[in-house]
Structure 1
Amino acid sequence: MSSSPDAPRDSARLFLALCPGRAVQAALAEHAKAWHWNEDAARYAPADWHVTLHFIGAVPHARLDELRAGLAVPLTPFELRFGQPALWPHGLAVLLPMAVPAALQQLHDQLARRLHQLDLRTDERPYRPHLTLARRAQTARPPALWPAWGWWVQGYALMASTGGTEPDGQRYRMLQQYGAPDTADALRP
């Protein structure tokens, strides 16, 4: 397993995330095409798009099996309706949901409790779900039309940051899928 430059060699830089399948990735790609990107914007590849639930940080490889088993929590499927594109500080181009579904907040809270039980820290700030489209996009301009579709979420994943060292250049790799994987019909008008 490769680890990111921010993690020691014997550890992996981990996070929990919602990972869109191909139908949602295709809709996101159409939205991303409508942005006016500045020349030095670092756009994410569709395979790297995700909504972070919790950033975990560097964890020794020896704990991976424990985490794979320990991070399974019940999930009530929910619809995440995307809408508002935004530019955040430090040049992050993001897509925000129209609202935070109660089931998403419940999943976030359950996973925070589980992480604490596993002696792992969590971010104490209020949860702000978002999907990052690009970094270094300080002068990018979002499209006038916002997405008008929802993503039916039935699962989440334990992910590792690769630092872009994968052969295909992917920044993130799925280590464990929980719940149902995203399916082709997961996009809702």
Structure 2
Amino acid sequence: MDAQPATSRLFLALWPEPAVRHQLREARDAWQWPRGAGPVHADKLHVTLHFLGRVPTVRLPELLEGFSVPFEPFRLDLGQPVLWPHGIAVLEPLSEPPELLALHARLRDALPALGLQPEARTYRPHVTMARRAAGAGIPEHGPAIGWDVRGYALVESRTGDGGAYTVLREYS
């Protein structure tokens, strides 16, 4: 029986610096969570650009290079708490900067050349605050979290050891 090749579970994301991460944690903690809710740990708060799924680990060097696309810094103002269907609590942007949408499109266009399939669903930028949060108390709109986005990252998600995230490369 052949051994399965090692894989890495990957996604591309806007990865916040410590000051923004602190504000995201405060925004997460302003919710009233029902019993059984799973608030996202502060070190995992981010905005996903593309979820890539499991990819053979041997392909990492190629992917690390292939995800280097033109990037323009932009400001992202987060501040719209929303409870999505299926108990997903999120913080959405107050508006979608054109530079964010352009970055998302450039990365989407890079996927087929790397043998990866873009997701079919419409992109909805957000920070996931919690899962299993049906019935959560949504906080009042507080001040927006102003994030001067200076880059993006390729991140690995490990399912064991508490589901650690590791930034494999930052792009700016």
Alignment TM-score, normalising by the size of structure 2: 0.93
Give me the identity figure in percent: 48
Matched to 1:72, the amino acid is S
Residue 148 of structure 1 deviates from its aligned partner by 2.0
Is the CA contact 1:13–1:160 (under 8 Å) kept in the aligned structure 2? Answer: yes
Partners of 2:51 and 2:116 lie apart in 1 by 10
Aligned ranges for residues 54-133 of structure 1 at < 5 Å? 54-133=50-129
Q: 1:143 to 1:164 in 2, by over 3 A?
A: farther
C-alpha distance 170-11 of structure 1, shift in aligned 2 (>3 A): closer
Count of residue pairs brought into register by the alignment:
169
Task: Tell me the distance in 2 between the aligned counterparts of 1:127 and 1:94.
Answer: 14
Conserved in 2, the CA contact under 8 Å of 1:35 and 1:140? yes
* Structure 2: 5+ residue stretches without partners: none
Structure 2 distance, partners of 1:125, 1:146, is: 29
Give 2:133's aligned residue: 137
Q: What TM-score, normalized by structure 1, do the two folds share?
A: 0.85
Quick check: 2:91–2:129 contact (8 Å CA) kept in 1? yes
AA of the residue aligned to 1:159: V
Amino acid in structure 1 at the alignment position of 2:103: L
- Whether the 8 Å contact between 1:31 and 1:147 is mirrored in structure 2 is no
Three-state SS of the structure 1 residue aligned to 2:125 is coil
State the Cα deviation string for residues 11-40 of structure 1 (Å, max 9, x = none): 011110001111001111221221111121
Unmatched 5+ residue regions in structure 1?
Answer: 1-7, 180-189
Pick closer, same or farther for the CA change 1:51–1:27 going to 2, 3 Å.
Answer: same
User: Residue 18 of structure 1 contacts residue 155 of structure 1 at CA under 8 Å; is this kept in 2?
Assistant: yes
What is residue 39 of structure 1 aligned with on the other side?
Answer: 35
Q: What one-letter code is carried by the residue in structure 2 that aligns with 1:174?
A: V
1:176 maps onto 2:169 in alignment: yes
- 1:50 has 2:46 as partner: yes
Structure 1 match to 2:17: 21
Asked if 2 retains the 8 angstrom alpha-carbon contact of 1:85 and 1:146, the reply is no
Distance apart, 1:9 and its partner CA: 6.1
RMSD of aligned alpha carbons: 1.3
Matched residue, 1:185: none
Residues in 1 aligned to 2:13 and 2:23: alpha-carbon distance in whole angstroms:
19
The one-letter amino acid of 1:178's match is Y
Q: Deviations over 1:134-169 (max 9, x none)?
A: 11111111111333231000110011111252xxx4
The answer to whether the Cα contact below 8 Å between 1:48 and 1:170 also exists between their aligned partners in 2 is no
